Amino acid sequence: AQKITQTQPGMFVQEKEAVTLDCTYDTSDQSYGLFWYKQPSSGEMIFLIYQGSYDEQNATEGRYSLNFQKARKSANLVISASQLGDSAMYFCAMREAVYTNFGNEKLTFGTGTRLTIIP
């Protein structure tokens, strides 16, 4: 079963509009972390925002906010006032408690959403 589902393969948004990228997840753990990364065509994965499962407030980082709905297991990324430079692939990812000798390292990615900002 998919642990992270991103249902929007591609989105086109007008510049300066807000955009919501969907992410739903599946876990039986009570403790987990959710991340969003941006990947421009250059290839580098850029960390955007993090939400912990016990965080009561939705995370915000500048123009990025995470709409966390725990009961629905959704962690949507909201980008306000989109810019041309926001055109990229966006990945939602989850860290679960994988117990190894050293801690919890596994990060599971969704299939991504390609966002294109139209001038």
Partner 1 sequence: DTEVTQTPKHLVMGMTNKKSLKCEQHMGHRAMYWYKQKAKKPPELMFVYSYEKLSINESVPSRFSPECPNSSLLNLHLHALQPEDSALYLCASSQQDRGSFGETQYFGPGTRLLVL
Answer for which of 43, 62, 85, 119 binds partner 1 (CB under 8 A) is 43
In the complex, the smallest distance separating the C-beta of residue 7 from partner 1, rounded to whole angstroms, is: 14
Q: Under DSSP, is residue 86 helix (H, G, I), strand (E, B) or coil?
A: helix
- Considering only CA atoms, which of 39, 27, 70 is closest in space to residue 52? 70
How does strand 33-39 pair with strand 46-52?
A: antiparallel
| Residue 44 touching partner 1 (CB under 8 A) | yes
CB 48, CB 61: distance < 8 Å: yes
Of residues 13 through 32, those in contact with partner 1 by CB under 8 A are: 31-32
- Rank residues 56 and 119 by Cβ distance to partner 1 and give the closer one: 56
Dist. CA 42–CA 64, nearest whole Å: 21
Contact residues for partner 1, defined by CB under 8 A:
31-33, 35, 37, 42-47, 50, 52-53, 91, 95, 97, 100-107, 109-112
